[in-house]
Chains A and B, each alone.
Chain A
Amino acid sequence: MTPRFDKLGVVIAAIVAYAAFLAPFATFRANRIVPGEARSILEALTAALGPLLLAIVIVAAIIALLKTPLVLRLAASVVALAALAVLIGVAGIFLTPTGNTFARISPASGFWLLIFAFTLLLADVLTRLNLSPLARVGVLVIAALAIGLLLVSGQWDSLSILKEYANRADSFWAEGSKHITLALGSLAAAVVVGLPLGILCHRVERLRAGVLNVLNIVQTIPSIALFGLLIAPLGWIAAHVPVAAALGIRGIGTAPAFVALFLYSLLPVVANTVVGLAGVPRAANDAARGMGMTDRQRLFGVEFPLAFPVILTGIRIVLVQNIGLATIAALIGGGGFGVFVFQGVGQTAMDLVLLGAVPTVALAFAAAIILDAVIEMTATRSER
Chain B
Amino acid sequence: MKEAGVKAWLPSLLRLALVVALVAFVTNPGWFEPLLKPLTENNAPAIYNQGSLLTLTLLHLRTVLIATVAATVVAISLAILVTRPAGAEFLPLSRSLVNIGQTFPPVAVLALAVPAVGFGEKPTLIALFLYGLLPIFENALTGLTTLPGNIMEAARGAGMTGWQRLIKVELPLSAPIILGGIRLSVVISLATATIGSTVAAKTLGEVIIAGLLSNNLAFVLQGGLIVAALAVLIYDGLSAIERYTARRMGQETGH
Contact = CB atoms under 8 A, between A and B. Distances in A.
Interface of A: 6-8, 120, 123-124, 126-128, 217, 219-226, 228-229, 231-232, 320, 323-325, 327-328, 331-332, 338, 341-342, 344-345, 348, 350, 353-354, 356-357, 360-361, 364-365, 367-368, 372
B102 interface: yes
Given A222-B194, A224-B208, A123 B108 contact: no
Nearest to A338: B107
Contact of B96 (A127, A223, A350): A127
Interface in B96-128: 96-97, 99-100, 102-108, 111-112, 114-115
A367 B224 CA distance: 30
Given A228-B217, A320-B103, A365-B100, A221 B111 contact: no
Contacts of B209: 224, 331
A12 to B, nearest CB: 11
Given A220-B187, A353-B111, A368 B224 contact: no
A348 B93 CA distance: 35
Max count, chain A CB within 10 A of own CB: residue among B39, B190, B228: B228
A221 B114 contact: no
Max count, chain B CB within 10 A of own CB: residue among A128, A361, A367: A361
Contacts of B102: 320, 368
19 contacts: A7-B87, A7-B90, A220-B187, A220-B228, A222-B192, A222-B228, A225-B221, A225-B225, A324-B103, A324-B106, A332-B212, A338-B107, A341-B111, A350-B112, A350-B114, A350-B115, A357-B112, A368-B100, A368-B102
Contact of B191 (A123, A222, A327, A344): A222
A123 B100 contact: yes
A228 B224 contact: yes
Contacts of A354: 112
B90 A228 contact: no
B108 A232 contact: no
B56 to A, nearest CB: 13
Max count, chain B CB within 10 A of own CB: residue among A217, A327, A368: A327
Contacts of B107: 324, 327-328, 338, 341, 357
Q: Which 7 A-B pairs have the closest CB atoms?
A: A225-B224, A324-B105, A220-B231, A228-B220, A357-B108, A364-B103, A222-B194
A124 B96 CA distance: 8
B85 to A, nearest CB: 12
A146 B164 CA distance: 51
Interface residues of B, number: 47
Contacts of B231: 220
B129 to A, nearest CB: 17
Interface of A is mostly: helix
Contact of A360 (B105, B221, B235): B105
A6 B89 CA distance: 9
A120 B92 CA distance: 12
A221 B112 contact: no
Contacts of B190: 220, 222
Nearest to A109: B116
A328 B187 contact: no
Nearest to B212: A228
A225 B220 contact: yes
A180 to B, nearest CB: 14
A7 B89 contact: yes
